[in-house]
Amino acid sequence: MAALKRLHELKLLLSNRYVKAEIVRIADGKVVVSASSREIKDSLTSTSDMVAAQRVGEMLVTRAKEADIAAVHYFKPIGKPFHGKLACIVNHWRDQGLAYN
């Protein structure tokens, strides 16, 4: 399999109040797709837990497919563990068959 070119980057904001995810085009820094737990706060018991992260991941995957985005890259900060809300969003991305490089 050929290496996928890194065209899009996943940016996450995981605060104590909300979960927000954006897919940004690396070339010009434009936000192509975004999803936030603020959009669905009425249907959630908490806007910052794992359930909220999973729902934001689902919305992001749906919107990415609509925007014809096939792969995304995440620049993980050094020392930041890959678990919790971050892992929930990324694993949902992978489960839906979209490339993560």
**What is the CATH classification number for the domain harbouring 51?**
3.30.420.100
pLDDT in tens, 29-76: 999 999 999 999 998 888 888 889 999 999 999 999 999 998 898 887
Residue 1 lies in a domain: no
Q: Whole-angstrom Cα distance, residue 41 to residue 68?
A: 27
Place of tokens 């992978």: 94
User: CB atoms < 10 A from the CB of 64, how many?
Assistant: 23
3-state helix, strand, coil in the chain (%, to 5): 30, 25, 45
Q: Has residue 2 got a pLDDT over 80?
A: no
C-alpha radius of gyration, the chain, whole number: 13
Residue 3 lies in a domain: no
Q: Whole-angstrom Cα distance, residue 49 to residue 52?
A: 5
Find the domain containing 60 and state its range: 8-100
Q: Has residue 20 got a pLDDT over 90?
A: yes
8 A C-beta contact, residue 73 and residue 90? no
Residue 21 lies in a domain: yes
Residue 54 lies in a domain: yes
pTM: predicted TM-score of the whole model, two decimal places: 0.84
Please give the tally of structural domains in the chain: 1
Residue 45 lies in a domain: yes
